[in-house]
Amino acid sequence: MMNNIEEVRKFNRLLIAGTGSGCGKTTMVCAVMKGLLNQGLLVNSFKAGPDYIDPMFHSRITGTKSRNLDMFLCGENVVKQLFAENSKDCDISVVEGVMGFYDGLGMGDIEYSSNDLSNRTDTPVVLVVNAKGMGTSVLALIKGFLEFKDNLIKGVLLNGVSPMMYPRYKEIIENNLDIKVLGFMPNLPEAAIESRHLGLVTADEIEDLRDKIDILGEHASKYIDLDALMDIASSAPEMEYEKVKIEKIASVRIAIAKDNAFFFYYEDNLDLLRKLGAELIPFSPLDDKSLPENIDGIIIGGGYPELYTDKLSNNTSMLINIREAYKSKTPIYAESGGFMYLGSTIEGKSMVNILSNNSQLTNRLQNFGYIKLIANKDNLLCKKGDSINAHEFHYTKSDFDGDDFTAIKKLTEKGRFCIDAKDNLFAGYPHLHLWGNIDFAKGFIQKCASRRA
């Protein structure tokens, strides 16, 4: 049962946005968070949009779970609730923006942009500007962002600026524009975060990440006015929302794949399943020989299984165990990499083979962006006709994506079939945020519980 209750919360919050991808936004966010932590403050972190990788870096810095704030996937009210409730026990919540500050659903559209999130949650903004290679032109760039649309930009942070040149940049910006420059970060190759064709290398793959973060924190303490950032964050007004109360519906044990191949999970999804009654037991398709005992369901999230095909394929006892669990009607919920793993092959290497699809890595994005999923039949998570918003981002290609849901591209309104869904299966490329339609989460828990009936 879910009851809605009016809530009002006051909490310190700040969104750090960028002029565009590649401006040094993630580096600046990591530096600011570490600098604040070095002052003895409790910091919680968030990521605007659906990205999985950036929150992993946030969590490694703060020691707390980073969350996603996505208006398309969850809706405004739920975003406000998750933002407020996950900010209860901290001194400041820091949100990393997505892409450029005004970059929304499509060209010329600011809906679902960092600006949109900031305005709808009344969260003040500090804009990261990479001034490398610019002189007076930096004024035109900043002026454009300040005046393009209504915004809550309260300050600017410069990236790629030397300590010698920073005072001059600060002077010309503050003398010509009605905005404060609150600090800078110089070029720090020793603190650079590597990338691959799939995006940033994950936090767990960087052996010297702690050293890199320490360097960023030291420079933030030296070159950024952290007290001014706290003042801006504390200026954020109360947030009002209608709280959706979640109550337990059944006690179930669910095995969840967590290792170097499978690790894309929204923390709020896991919290929701726990609130509904799930005990989540981690297992490794890479290293464990069998599933945990006495389970009622299985979750296999996204990740990079295409990088571990030999090890996954050679762990035949796990492949057989999952196949037998499926045949015995154990509910299985799999997204993206998990969907590939349940198929016949990845890169020609044998996998679980409860689905017939074969997956290959390509050199370009296959499907990317927001979609609306509509069920074509009753299945593990929902009834025919039910819908939920979702997101896709993958370089791999499957020779059959399933046909039990219709995916409507938000940007183009074009539809296509996807997802293999049955009474005990939901498997496909799309990533769901279950707070977008809590009935999907309830459906999964209820199917898991029915095995105990």
Residue 3 and residue 172: Cα distance in Å, rounded? 54
Give, for all 453 residues of the chain, the pLDDT tens digit.
Answer: 446 778 999 999 999 999 998 898 999 999 999 999 999 999 999 999 999 988 998 999 999 999 999 999 999 999 999 999 999 999 999 999 999 999 998 888 899 999 999 999 999 999 999 999 999 999 999 999 999 999 999 999 999 999 999 999 999 999 999 999 999 999 988 877 665 444 556 666 666 788 999 999 999 999 999 999 999 999 999 999 999 999 999 999 999 999 999 999 999 999 999 999 999 999 999 999 999 999 999 999 999 999 999 999 999 999 999 999 999 999 999 999 999 999 999 999 999 999 999 999 998 888 889 999 999 999 999 999 999 999 999 899 999 999 999 999 987 888 999 999 999 999 999 999 999 999 999 999 999 999 876
HSE toward the beta carbon, residue 297, CA cutoff 13 A: 33
Are 356 and 344 within 8 A, CB to CB?
Answer: yes
pTM: 0.94
pLDDT at 189: 82
Residue 186 and residue 148: Cα distance in Å, rounded? 28
Candidates 129, 136, 133; CA nearest to 157 is 129
Are 406 and 417 within 8 A, CB to CB?
Answer: yes
For 220, 388, 417, the CA distances from 441, given in Å and listed in that order, are: 41, 11, 22
pLDDT at 394: 87
pLDDT at 6: 87
pLDDT at 231: 99
Candidates 94, 85, 138; CA nearest to 118 is 94
Residue 411 and residue 114: Cα distance in Å, rounded? 17
pLDDT at 198: 47
Cα angle vertex 44, ends 431, 197, to 5°? 40
- CATH number for domain 4-241, candidates 3.30.1490.190, 1.20.870.10, 3.40.50.300, 3.40.225.10: 3.40.50.300
> Any idea where the domains of the chain sit in the sequence?
4-241, 248-450
**Which is the CATH superfamily of the domain at 248-450?**
Class I glutamine amidotransferase (GATase) domain (3.40.50.880)
Residue 400 and residue 379: Cα distance in Å, rounded? 18
HSE toward the beta carbon, residue 433, CA cutoff 13 A: 28
Q: Go through the chain and tell me how many residues it has.
A: 453
Amino acid at 349: K
Residue 116 and residue 79: Cα distance in Å, rounded? 12
Question: Do 248-450 and 4-241 have the same topology in CATH?
Answer: yes
For 66, 328, 437, the CA distances from 72, given in Å and listed in that order, are: 19, 36, 12
Candidates 103, 80, 116, 124; CA nearest to 19 is 103
Candidates 10, 7, 36; CA nearest to 122 is 10
pLDDT at 205: 67
Give the three-class secondary structure for 350: strand
Hey, what are 141's tokens? 């760039």
Chain-centre distance of CA 290, in angstroms? Answer: 29
DSSP structural state of residue 190? G
pLDDT at 107: 84
Are 5 and 11 within 8 A, CB to CB?
Answer: no
